[in-house]
Structure 1
Amino acid sequence: MESAIDTHLVCPRALSRRVPDNYEPPFPMWVGRADEQVTQVTMAYLGVQYRGDAQRPAALQAMRHLVDSFGLADGPVHHDLTHHTDKQGYDNLMIVGYWRDPAAHCRWLRSPAVANWWSSQDRLSEGLGFFREIVSPRVEQFETLYAFQDTLPGVGAVMDGVSGDINEHGYWGSMRERFPIAQTDWMQPVGDLRIVAGNPVDGGRVVVAGHDNIALIRSGQDWIDTDAAERALYLDELLPTLHAGMDFLRDNGESVGCYSNRFVRSIDLDGNFLDESYNIGHWRSLDKLERWAESHPTHLRIFTKFFQVVTGLTKLRLYHEVSVSDARSQVFEYINCHPQTGMLRDAHQECLR
């Protein structure tokens, strides 16, 4: 058994673990492994927001345009597509790209085709909303966890391999202890969300400045290869409890420190649903995420239900990735999105002088 923290990232631990050195997890889990040359990654969530069936064709076309732009020089190593409906009833298509090198992402973002499309006046007048929420954590600032060892999704797709059985899982606090930086740093938040350009009430272009150690979790479920019995077990037993917890965070996240929560379904280029889903949550801090997971009834019900059905799950693929990032490595920008979108809800309007 090995540590979730890769050998080249291990350092003398200043912060103690929650379990003794002889702890043995109850079942095997794995993490992604990246080459030592990978020092930072970029995770870009690009959104198209619309309302009503009449706008759906234009939204899908905009999504396809963004996917096509990923084929330009310095595009992402991996991407996926999702749909979700938010609390306000708006549909949202998201194109999620992952880069192994933030410099490549920066070159892609600043390329004329990408930059000119985003800054075009057409974005303000075509009746759609757009957003981009981008973070670039260093390798010591994110962790992964997989119940399988092949074809890793999300940030795992830009890793170079997978670990052996790891030690740090199966107990409260293990998420934090898979972070290399957690050996010496509590990852406390510094500052608040601030609107630094535009006004969400007025629409148009709005820019939000983040703060150090915003936590981002992607927690996924893939039931593509399940048989009928296991599919029914997931869809009828586990999913309703999971959905209730995710809806709580979507609708009431502000009360527990969750800035934004989206439970999304994977789609193809035509908007057809696939048998995959995942949750995307932005939190004020890793500590806030931990407190909800360990003590809130909505998550405890998910946790309890999972352990009730886990022995019947053999083909269901479960995973998550969690990161924190520095304020200087975050981008939160919105065009014609409603004021409750993403980081807009909790961002403070700076006084104009």
Structure 2
Amino acid sequence: MTLESAICPHLRRDRTLPKSTPANYVPPFPVFSARFDEDMQDVAMVMLGAVSSEDNTTLDYDALVPLDRLLELGSPLHGHRTLCTSTDPQTLRQTRAWKAWWPSRRDFEDWRLSSGFAAWFAGEEREKEDIGWFVEAIFPSMDRFETVFSNAASLEGAAVLSSHMSGAIEEHGYWGSARDRFAVGQHDPMSAVRSACPVAGLAVRAEGPQKASGSPRPQQISSKRVIVPGQHNLCVIHSGQDWSQMTGSDRDLYLHTLHPVLERGMSFLAHQKVPLSQRETSAAQKERRTYGCYDCRFMDHLDASSLESSLSKSFGLAYFDSLSSLEAWAREHKTHLDIFNGFFKYATETQGKGDLRLWHEICVLKEDQQYYEYINCPPGTGMYVGLAARVNTSTDLV
């Protein structure tokens, strides 16, 4: 079987950094990557959602109606979207959100303005409501994200916007293979840039888009609206599972063996995000800090009409301070080793022909390829995880 590189042909360069692929390596089972048109420069991956107002509460059925309506207005509309939900394992607050993808950052910005979303989200009325609202928007350039699918015919996420899928790829199934799939990784080590970021400051209203010559002058400081700065080489992974085609004993096997292991791994990462001032000093807490995970949501896909988790799909969405931190958790920690070994065994036995469909997209972002804004949300929501420090004064996403 002829293997392809996971890197799109037009993004391939002479390497200055070697791959980690073992000599004479043959992958144990086939996986595939999305191929994108050469004229695509970046992709917008955006979470628009709400958080329940108090600990141990859920959102009303119609909580997302404003977002539902806005997502049908304006132009250009998203290329793909998923309604999803999660419950924070510490506060038991519910999050419900739309994860949407546009084929460029400019398309998202045009929609944001033309639909009325920008004006609606910036309105002071949002700060007076009894639920939290948030935007988590990332805009990876094509060299800064990679995709893997166990089934080339079952597309999710940014791959829905792709031109086609690759053949079976070489770079998977060994430690370091994710790094080898990044086009930017051909010449950039994507080193960690650890700092006080992300930090939660008080956001300020600006008179207009931030100019290159300086920061906008603040008009108002709001304790209810927080903008979190981006961090260079932040790593975001969206890792999905689809068992909707599984039946009988295979479905039972997944739900009672593989899925619980996955839940434990996601829970472990979710418990890293507690602000430092609130963290315990136990050995377990110290261990969690070493993996650099700012947040992890384990989310179920929702039926848009019933709001039931009836689609038999889920995903983990995690923010790491670097790709190396994600790699360290994947390589070293029991929670991920249990996940990896379980799914690896399943995929090897079925040779990619099983009814469980797995996929992921991983991004390693520049600082200016991120935007996070939170209204009425408690610390610990998404990237709002730090302590008060640096203030980001721009309310413009471009």
TM-score, reference length from structure 1: 0.93
Rounded to whole Å, the distance in 2 between the matches of 1:334 and 1:286 is 25
Checking the alignment, whether the CA contact within 8 Å between 2:296 and 2:317 is kept in structure 1 is yes
Does residue 265 of structure 2 align to residue 263 of structure 1? Answer: no
Checking the alignment, whether the CA contact within 8 Å between 2:70 and 2:115 is kept in structure 1 is no
Rounded to whole Å, the distance in 2 between the matches of 1:111 and 1:261 is 32
Match of 1:181 in 2: 184
Does residue 227 of structure 2 align to residue 207 of structure 1? Answer: yes
Q: Which amino acid in 1 is paired with 2:66?
A: H
The structure carrying a bigger strand percent of its residues is 1
Deviations 1:75-120 (A, max 9, x none): 2111001010002110000111101111111112233611121012
Q: Which amino acid in 1 is paired with 2:199?
A: R
Match of 1:335 in 2: 375
Match of 2:24 in 1: 22
SS of equivalent residue, structure 1 residue 14: coil
Aligned length: 348
Q: Which amino acid in 1 is paired with 2:192?
A: P
SS of equivalent residue, structure 1 residue 108: helix
SS of equivalent residue, structure 1 residue 252: coil
Match of 1:171 in 2: 174
The structure carrying a bigger helix percent of its residues is 1
SS of equivalent residue, structure 2 residue 224: strand
Rounded to whole Å, the distance in 2 between the matches of 1:326 and 1:117 is 28
Rounded to whole Å, the distance in 1 between the matches of 2:13 and 2:125 is 51
Rounded to whole Å, the distance in 1 between the matches of 2:386 and 2:183 is 29
Structure 2 vs 1, CA of residues 21 and 40 (structure 1 numbering), >3 Å: closer, same or farther?
farther
Structure 2 vs 1, CA of residues 203 and 89 (structure 1 numbering), >3 Å: closer, same or farther?
farther
Where in structure 1 are there 5+ consecutive unaligned residues?
none
Rounded to whole Å, the distance in 2 between the matches of 1:54 and 1:295 is 35
Deviates more, 1:110-119 or 1:72-81: 110-119
Match of 1:49 in 2: 51
Counterpart selection for 2:312 from 247, 259, 275: 275
- What is the root-mean-square deviation in Å for CA atoms of aligned residues? 2.1
Q: Which amino acid in 2 is paired with 1:276?
A: K
Deviations 1:283-339 (A, max 9, x none): 100010001000111111112222344426710111111001111121110000011
Deviations 1:218-262 (A, max 9, x none): 111001111111111110110111111110000135611001100
Rounded to whole Å, the distance in 1 between the matches of 2:22 and 2:330 is 22
Match of 1:63 in 2: 64
SS of equivalent residue, structure 2 residue 121: helix
- The sequence identity of aligned pairs, in percent, is 35
Match of 2:264 in 1: 244
Match of 1:317 in 2: 357
SS of equivalent residue, structure 1 residue 307: helix
Structure 2 vs 1, CA of residues 48 and 351 (structure 1 numbering), >3 Å: closer, same or farther?
closer
Does residue 291 of structure 2 align to residue 291 of structure 1? Answer: no
Structure 2 vs 1, CA of residues 9 and 90 (structure 1 numbering), >3 Å: closer, same or farther?
same
Checking the alignment, whether the CA contact within 8 Å between 2:202 and 2:388 is kept in structure 1 is no
Rounded to whole Å, the distance in 2 between the matches of 1:342 and 1:209 is 13
Where in structure 2 are there 5+ consecutive unaligned residues?
205-221, 274-287, 393-398
Q: Which amino acid in 1 is paired with 2:16?
A: A
Rounded to whole Å, the distance in 1 between the matches of 2:331 and 2:375 is 36
SS of equivalent residue, structure 2 residue 225: strand
Match of 1:8 in 2: 10
Does residue 254 of structure 2 align to residue 234 of structure 1? Answer: yes
Does residue 244 of structure 2 align to residue 224 of structure 1? Answer: yes
